[in-house]
Amino acid sequence: MQNPRSIREKTVRDAKAGLILDAALQVFSQKGFHDARLEDIAAAAGFSKASLYNYYEDKDAMFLSLAVREYQRVADRLEKLPVGEGTFEENIKATLSMIFSVFGEHFSFLLTLSNFRMMNILSLGKLEGHHEQRLEDLHQSFFLVEEHFRKLVATARDKGETQSELSDDVLAGFLGSMIRGVLFDWKLKGTMGDAEEETRRVLVFLKKGMDFAQRS
């Protein structure tokens, strides 16, 4: 695997696998899991349907791999945001802004899918034994995102910026709800909306809801 030849081959292979996921993202987002036909994905990726099986063992694997990739992208970016420094309004603003502007579309995919399929996938265990590693990765990403929200709230409380009677967990949950709410609305409307303006509105509401110190 260390020799140049192997490296090149792996690189090309990964690139192609990525192209397939890009296509899958489009199709899954538009049609949902079941209505998404492999032929659509293949066409969007520039492959034949049969070729997909050179990269993913089956449709579930494609869906899961995509979910992992997209969630990890969000988690990675969130992790890089500094939480200990700056106002917490700034932190939350950065978080909202990032999610809305950069990952809006992708996150929306996860939102959509999680609804009707993720739960089956994550709980019904129909996939266990086939996709254990991917499930593990996905859970990890879920945890990271939630953890980020929790840290945001906890830090705010540490710094005395919120005196809300609600627990950190509950507040973190509301934060997530607001974000999902916006993405949900976008999906219903079929268009992404103005990320900046949306960020501002949510911020206004959040600061009040979370009992932020009235400095802003």
Is residue 1 a contact point for DNA (CB under 7 A)? no
Task: Say how many C-beta atoms besides its own lie within 10 A of residue 189's C-beta.
Answer: 9
Residues whose CB falls within 8 Å of the CB of residue 88, separated by 6 or more in sequence, listed in order: 152, 155, 156, 159, 161, 162, 212
Least Cβ distance, residue 177 to its own copies (angstroms): 2
Is residue 177 a contact point for its own copies (CB under 8 A)? yes
By CB under 7 A, name the one of 21, 23, 24, 36 that touches DNA: 36
C-alpha closest to that of 180 among 117, 75, 103: 103
- Report how far residue 167's alpha carbon sits from residue 98's, in angstroms, rounded to the nearest whole number: 25
Is residue 79 a contact point for DNA (CB under 7 A)? no
- Binders of its own copies among 87-116, rule CB under 8 A? 111-112, 114-116
Least Cβ distance, residue 33 to DNA (angstroms): 8
Structure tokens at 1: 């695997």
Strand, helix or coil at 83? Answer: coil
By CB under 7 A, name the one of 59, 180, 200, 201 that touches DNA: 59
Binding site for DNA (CB under 7 A): 9, 12-13, 16, 35-39, 47-51, 53-55, 57-60
